[in-house]
Amino acid sequence: MTSDAVKAAEVRVLVINPGSTSTKVSVYENDREIFTVTASHSAEELKPYPSILEQRPLRMGVIKQVLAERGLDLSGLTAIAGRGGVLKPIESGTYSINQEMLDDLSSPAIHGHASSLGTFLAYEFGRELGIPAYIVDPVVVDELSAVARVSGHPDFPRGSIFHALNHKAVARQCARDIGLRYEYARLIVAHLGGGITVGAHCNGLVVDVNNGLAGEGPFTPERCGGLPLTDVVRAAYSGKYTLDELLAIANKKGGLVAYLGTNDLRECEKRVAQGDARAALVVEAMAYQVAKEVGAMAAVLEGRVDAIALSGGLARSIKFVRDISERVRFIGPVRVYPGEKEMEALALGVLRVLYGECEPKTYGPF
């Protein structure tokens, strides 16, 4: 069947995107969303499972229940898209799920993250139904330039872990909106959520981006971002903190949580409106640090920036976006894409393969 014939036919893609306490399920018919459902999981539900990967039976049952309630005929599905986990560094693209991928995600050396479940669930659904299963642009997409990998000490090279799925989707949309192909655009994309990553997109590659999981870049609602290194080293040996406590500060108990006791920007902005000077300073500082990172990526792109795209949940805040935009608009036009495009991006990544626009990539061997 030709690419045009496939596009004309009814192609249905099931999209699975697990979070730490929820499972998001979508079905797309060609590029049209049929439905999206987010199923929440209580702490009581998750308590019997010692690890994330052991939650597979629970999550599979929930997904099948969602599909049954919607009256979806599983035999009508063409392919499955799952959220990819923390794998080894790979280039951007759509990947067929293979055994090497599953083995790596099962390894204790790989971070246990909810996104890893997406790969297993997609694979199991695909095997049951006899249809292909894929992941698209997982967080480990690594397109850094050689100079961007140099950190300041050879024992600690910079790596690339960021919101690649949303970055790529927003970058493609932004490029279309300004009349360019993504492969020929020079963009700065900022994903603004519980984690914040700001990347320099140059001709289809993310040549530099802060590794939010490693503590680089701006502080966020939950992460501390870059801290004074010598103070952190002293704290590590002071006896005041355990290793787990310091890691929690880096990724769960930093940022707005540490300063204001909440990870909800809306709550912080309510306090600002009520005259809370500390809240006003901290929220302004978060926008300030995002703007600084955008400026750094402008230097990476040598000042030739076609557009700056702000996305993620925090981009729904008019004031937060304005505070960033006022500091960076001299660099290039600012475009705002509130929320996340993860489900759509997963579906479109698989559709590009089904339509014959690209070949699925193979994970490994390394």
**Residue 337 within any structural domain of the chain:** no
What CATH number does residue 293 fall under?
3.30.420.40
What residues contact residue 196 under an 8 Å CB cut-off, 6+ apart? Answer: 190, 210, 212, 217, 218, 219, 220, 223, 225, 290, 293, 312, 314
Does residue 203 sit in the same domain as residue 252? Answer: yes
In this predicted structure, what is the pLDDT of residue 46? 87
Q: Which domain holds residue 111?
A: 3-140+343-362
Element (H, E) at 38: strand 32-40
In this predicted structure, what is the pLDDT of residue 50? 86
In this predicted structure, what is the pLDDT of residue 179? 98
Does residue 35 sit in the same domain as residue 72? Answer: yes
Q: Which tokens hold the place of 340?
A: 């996340």
CA distance 278 to 276: 6
**Residue 214 within any structural domain of the chain:** yes
Does residue 86 sit in the same domain as residue 122? Answer: yes
In this predicted structure, what is the pLDDT of residue 28? 97
Does residue 186 sit in the same domain as residue 282? Answer: yes
Residues of the chain with pLDDT under 50: 1
CA distance 124 to 160: 28
Does residue 127 sit in the same domain as residue 257? Answer: no
**Residue 109 within any structural domain of the chain:** yes
Does residue 278 sit in the same domain as residue 317? Answer: yes
Dihedral pair phi/psi, residue 112, rounded to 5°: -80, 100
Does residue 83 sit in the same domain as residue 214? Answer: no
Alpha carbon separation from 314 to 89, 145, 192, 338, 346 (Å, rounded):
27, 29, 5, 7, 21
Task: Give the number of other CB atoms < 10 A from CB of residue 31.
Answer: 13
Domain count along the chain? 2
**Residue 232 within any structural domain of the chain:** yes
In this predicted structure, what is the pLDDT of residue 92? 95
For residues 54-91, b (16+ Cβ closer than 10 Å) or e, as one string?
A: ebeebbbebbeebbeeeebeeeebbbbbbbbbbbeebe
In this predicted structure, what is the pLDDT of residue 14? 97
In this predicted structure, what is the pLDDT of residue 5? 52
Quick check: 165 and 136 in contact, CB under 8 A? yes
Q: How many Å separate Cα 238 from the centre of its chain?
A: 34
DSSP result, 54-76: GGHHHHHHHHHHHHHHTT--GGG
CA distance 201 to 204: 6
Q: Which tokens hold the place of 313?
A: 């949940």
Q: Which tokens hold the place of 121?
A: 């669930």
CA distance 223 to 234: 20
Does residue 29 sit in the same domain as residue 128? Answer: yes
Does residue 59 sit in the same domain as residue 18? Answer: yes
**Residue 338 within any structural domain of the chain:** no
What residues contact residue 299 under an 8 Å CB cut-off, 6+ apart? Answer: none
Does residue 122 sit in the same domain as residue 208? Answer: no
In this predicted structure, what is the pLDDT of residue 115? 82
Does residue 260 sit in the same domain as residue 292? Answer: yes
Cα of first residue to Cα of last residue in the chain, in angstroms, is 34
In this predicted structure, what is the pLDDT of residue 4? 57
In this predicted structure, what is the pLDDT of residue 340? 85
**Residue 252 within any structural domain of the chain:** yes
**Residue 16 within any structural domain of the chain:** yes
Does residue 288 sit in the same domain as residue 349? Answer: no
**Residue 267 within any structural domain of the chain:** yes
